Amino acid sequence: MALKALDIYENIMLNHPVEAQGASISMYRMTLEAWRRGIEVRFMTVYVKNRIKIRHKLSYGGREYRFQLSLGDKVAKEARQIGKSKELTKQHLAAAGVSVPEGKVISIQNNDFGEALEYAESIGYPVIVKPAHASLAIGVRTNLKDRASLAEALEHIHGELGYTEIIVERHAEGFDTRAYVIENEMIAAFKRIPAHIEGDGGHTIRQLIELKNQRRKLNPHLSNSQIKMDDALIDYIGRHGYNLDSVLGKGEKINLTDSTFASNAADTVDITDEVTEDYKMTAVNAVKSIPGMNMGGVDIIRDPEKDVNKVLEINCRPDLGGHMFPIYGESRDVAKKIVDYYFPETASIDTGINEYFTFDFDEIFRFLKKGIVKEVILPPLPKSKVENVHLELKGNINFYRTVLFNSAAGHRLGGNIRMLGKDRAKMVVAGTTKHLTSFLQELMKIAPKLDITVTAQNEWDSLLMYKFEIPETASIPLNRLRRENMDMRKEIEALKKELADVKKGSPL
């Protein structure tokens, strides 16, 4: 048996479900990990403000836990309520002795910004402002250096967005970071850095941005967050002496913004192995300060020069994508750690061949979103020995596609057919020895005019769907184009090279 290590870029990122991008990464990666261990996985729908939302349940050994993305039942309701309020969160942090930026909540009515402006003068500029009860960085304005910029930000948050409870606090200098904590352990950490590009001596800034956006599309966490060549970007690079048609010298790096918000296409850099013990303890103590919040994401401003860590807020339902798919550095499997925490008796299970199987998250997601079904239970992976066979098919494959699919599905096999040309394809089938043997015996009968050759047995070199996939026609299916596209292959190699370069030195 040959087991090839799965590549994070080629095998995992390029095969990530379309519906498991952004926030849904947490649900997919957690359910995939659980399913591979033999934990029962259920997806179900709930109605929230007249919209269908998808939740999941994990069951094992007589215990069942319900999850909303990365948030599970072990996080108390009280902790969830506190986490929704930046004001309450800050009060608990301060009471526990956790360092937080100086600031307070100010109630604003009828565009009267007087108290907020006076308070900013008392604590000193620069300051940041943000709604007291909002998430996803909505309305957050940072590094406001004077009264005029603060007044403009308040007009946006109150006048345009309609918030009346607004936090004004001292701007904390340093790196914008996120740590994930479970009980007494910091599991992972990353920092956000402004979107930037590096010149090669030939491409313009416009072309370099386009190339970087192509790489971001490969990343499940960043695929929906592209660098926008808008007036703000043009103005920013213009103030630094560049325009979109400027050609950067080889190795020349420039920022495209000062923002480290995800909405402004910030890059993520894993720093798990670099943070200090003080940073780890700050993250752990922050989570402990909230009653019943035994796990969560902690946003920390880290000032390495002064060795100071200030906690901005805590998220009890954090997106795991930044940890699992950073632009720079090592992927941290936080989803696995969460499953370990809820089902510790499964942590030592050897998933073996199961690591090469995936399930059709996209199809499940669409069925649930359309209201066709209310609940989906994933069929368990076989507990007996699983094998695979690689076959080369020649002939009129499209003529036999239906019988090939029906036979593979009827024998409860996973796998796929990949077209190599008009009348040539590679077929991989996997399942128990009993079902696989029966299928191969039937294959010659149901497709007598195909030239079938066994090219390999028990070679595990890529992910396989736990159902049989076959293209609609003999042409390459649309949802596989990016995997077959040579340009994308080159982008992967460029990304790997960039990662290797980062290991030698820090990114911009």
Tell me the per-residue pLDDT of 381-426, one tens digit each, with 9 for 90 and over: 988 889 999 999 999 998 998 999 999 999 999 999 999 988 999 9
Please give the structure tokens belonging to residue 170. 């001292």
Q: Are 393 and 416 in contact (CB under 8 A)?
A: no
Q: Are 439 and 430 in contact (CB under 8 A)?
A: no
Span 178-193, mean pLDDT? 97
β-strands 424-432, 386-394: how paired? antiparallel
Q: What share of the chain is helix, strand, coil (3-state, %, to 5)?
A: 35, 30, 35
Q: Can you tell me the distance from the alpha carbon of 468 to that of 217, in angstroms, rounded to the nearest whole number?
A: 27
- Does residue 458 carry a pLDDT above 80? yes
Please give the structure tokens belonging to residue 160. 């345009």
Higher-scoring residue by pLDDT: 108, 507: 108
Helices (H), 17-166: 24-37, 77-84, 86-95, 114-123, 147-154
Mean per-residue pLDDT over the chain, rounded = 90
Residue 396's region, left for phi above 0, alpha for psi from -120 to 50, else beta, is beta
Q: Which of 57, 27, 12, 59 is nearest to 365 (CA)?
A: 27
- Does residue 503 carry a pLDDT above 80? no
Span 337-354, mean pLDDT? 95
Full-model pTM = 0.86
Q: Which of 392, 398, 185 is nearest to 288 (CA)?
A: 185
- So what's the pLDDT on residue 501? 60
Q: CB within 8 A of 247, min separation 6: which ones?
A: 199, 201, 202, 203, 204, 205
Q: Are 437 and 476 in contact (CB under 8 A)?
A: no
Q: Are 102 and 370 in contact (CB under 8 A)?
A: no
* DSSP single-letter state for residue 163: -
- So what's the pLDDT on residue 7? 81
- So what's the pLDDT on residue 6? 81
**Three-class SS state of 189:** strand
Higher-scoring residue by pLDDT: 497, 34: 34
Q: Please report, for residues 2, 219, 260, 330, 473, the alpha-carbon distance to residue 15 in angstroms, rounded to integers and kept in the order given.
A: 21, 10, 28, 19, 21
Radius of gyration of the chain from Cα atoms?
26
- So what's the pLDDT on residue 498? 60
* Alpha carbon of residue 259 to chain centroid: 20
Q: At what angle do helices 147-154 and 114-123 cross, to 10 degrees?
A: 140
- Does residue 473 carry a pLDDT above 80? no
Q: Can you tell me the distance from the alpha carbon of 93 to that of 86, in angstroms, rounded to the nearest whole number?
A: 10
- So what's the pLDDT on residue 486? 46
- So what's the pLDDT on residue 93? 96
Q: Which of 429, 417, 427, 476 is nearest to 453 (CA)?
A: 427
* 491 confidence band (pLDDT: 50, 70, 90): low
Express each pLDDT in 391-402 by its tens digit: 999 999 989 989
Higher-scoring residue by pLDDT: 494, 191: 191
- Does residue 488 carry a pLDDT above 90? no
- Does residue 231 carry a pLDDT above 50? yes
Express each pLDDT in 289-345 by its tens digit: 999 999 999 999 999 888 899 999 999 999 999 999 999 999 999 999 999 999 999
- So what's the pLDDT on residue 474? 38
Express each pLDDT in 135-185 by its tens digit: 767 888 888 999 999 999 999 999 899 999 999 999 988 999 999 999 999
Span 462-482, mean pLDDT? 60
- Does residue 449 carry a pLDDT above 60? yes
- Does residue 86 carry a pLDDT above 60? yes
* Alpha carbon of residue 328 to chain centroid: 14
- So what's the pLDDT on residue 500? 58
Q: Please report, for residues 63, 184, 206, 298, 304, the alpha-carbon distance to residue 177 in angstroms, rounded to integers and kept in the order given.
A: 35, 19, 29, 8, 12
Bridge partners (DSSP) listed for residue 59: 40, 64
| Residues 454, 456, 462, 464, CA torsion sign | positive
* Alpha carbon of residue 52 to chain centroid: 21
- So what's the pLDDT on residue 497? 62
- So what's the pLDDT on residue 499? 56
Bridge partners (DSSP) listed for residue 375: 44
Which segment, 181-190, 417-426, 499-508, is predicted with the most confidence on average? 181-190
Higher-scoring residue by pLDDT: 482, 80: 80
Express each pLDDT in 5-41 by its tens digit: 888 877 888 889 999 998 899 999 999 999 999 999 9
- Does residue 480 carry a pLDDT above 50? no
How do the domains of the chain map onto residue ranges? 2-70+332-377, 102-171, 195-265, 386-465+470-487
Q: Are 290 and 317 in contact (CB under 8 A)?
A: no
Cβ count near 451 (within 10 Å)? 11
- So what's the pLDDT on residue 484? 44
* 487 confidence band (pLDDT: 50, 70, 90): low
Q: Can you tell me the distance from the alpha carbon of 399 to that of 117, in angstroms, rounded to the nearest whole number?
A: 74
User: Position 315: which residue type?
Assistant: N
May I ask the CATH class of domain 386-465+470-487?
alpha beta
What is the second-level CATH architecture of the domain 102-171? 2-Layer Sandwich (3.30)
Cis peptide before 126 (omega within 30 of 0): yes
- So what's the pLDDT on residue 479? 40
Q: Can you tell me the distance from the alpha carbon of 259 to that of 315, in angstroms, rounded to the nearest whole number?
A: 20
Helices (H), 243-288: 277-288
Q: Which of 208, 190, 211 is nearest to 200 (CA)?
A: 208
* 472 confidence band (pLDDT: 50, 70, 90): low
Q: Which of 333, 319, 323 is nearest to 6 (CA)?
A: 333
**Three-class SS state of 493:** helix
